[in-house]
């Protein structure tokens, strides 16, 4: 939970320093004093220089922080609503049925041999609905006949092809001619 907020805070801090550097609030050359007149920017100039920083904070709030808080509330509400008999999926990918709920520890049954696992409440990814649970497809009377029609004969496997090795060329020079 804190990992995401630290990341957001780091990004906001970087954006704030960037906005300050670009707006001229941070002394980059001469401490913010105008070289021609020798005067500072004044009160109006100082307030206007914070406008980009305020704008960045507002944008980050509406784009990052607010949606993350909404999602965290929904997940916490979902995890607190778990009851016995629910089908759940853990963050590790286990799918099982809840058999016992006790504070932060939940016991689930997984697999055909009904192995019981104790998991922490925060380890639950989602509650599966009965409508979204995978079901085995039912075969109708017409389907097997259609499958037989479209069934193709398997191809015969051929052994490895043998390549013919080229015969070495013989020299066409006659031995009689050399003498």
**pLDDT value for 102:** 94
Q: pLDDT tens across 54-84, in order?
A: 999 999 999 999 999 999 999 999 999 999 9
Question: Rounded to the nearest 10 degrees, what angle do helices 42-60 and 2-23 cross at?
Answer: 150
Four-CA torsion 26, 27, 31, 36, nearest 10 degrees: -90
Closest CA to 46 of 16, 12, 23: 23
Domains of the chain: 2-80 (no CATH), 87-128 (2.30.30)
- Give how far Cα 146 sits from Cα of 5, 56, 134, Å: 57, 63, 25
Which residue matches tokens 């704008």? 55
Q: pLDDT tens across 108-159, in order?
A: 999 999 999 999 999 999 999 864 445 545 555 555 555 555 556 666 666 6
């Amino acid at each position: 939970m804190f990992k995401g907020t630290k990341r957001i805070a780091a990004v906001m801090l970087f954006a704030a320093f960037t906005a300050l550097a670009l707006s001229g609030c941070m002394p980059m050359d001469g401490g913010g004093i105008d070289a021609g007149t020798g005067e500072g920017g004044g009160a109006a100039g100082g307030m206007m220089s914070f406008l980009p920083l305020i704008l960045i904070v507002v944008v980050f709030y509406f784009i990052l922080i607010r949606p993350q808080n909404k999602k965290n509330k929904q997940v916490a509400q979902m995890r607190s609503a778990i009851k016995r008999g629910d089908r759940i999926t853990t963050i590790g990918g286990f799918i099982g049925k809840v058999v016992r709920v006790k504070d932060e520890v939940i016991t689930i049954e997984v697999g055909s041999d009904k192995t019981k696992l104790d998991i922490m409440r925060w380890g639950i990814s989602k509650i599966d609905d009965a409508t979204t649970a995978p079901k085995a497809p039912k075969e109708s009377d017409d389907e097997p006949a259609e499958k037989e029609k479209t069934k193709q004969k398997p191809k015969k496997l051929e052994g490895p092809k043998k390549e013919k090795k080229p015969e070495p060329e013989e020299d066409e020079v006659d031995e009689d001619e050399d003498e």
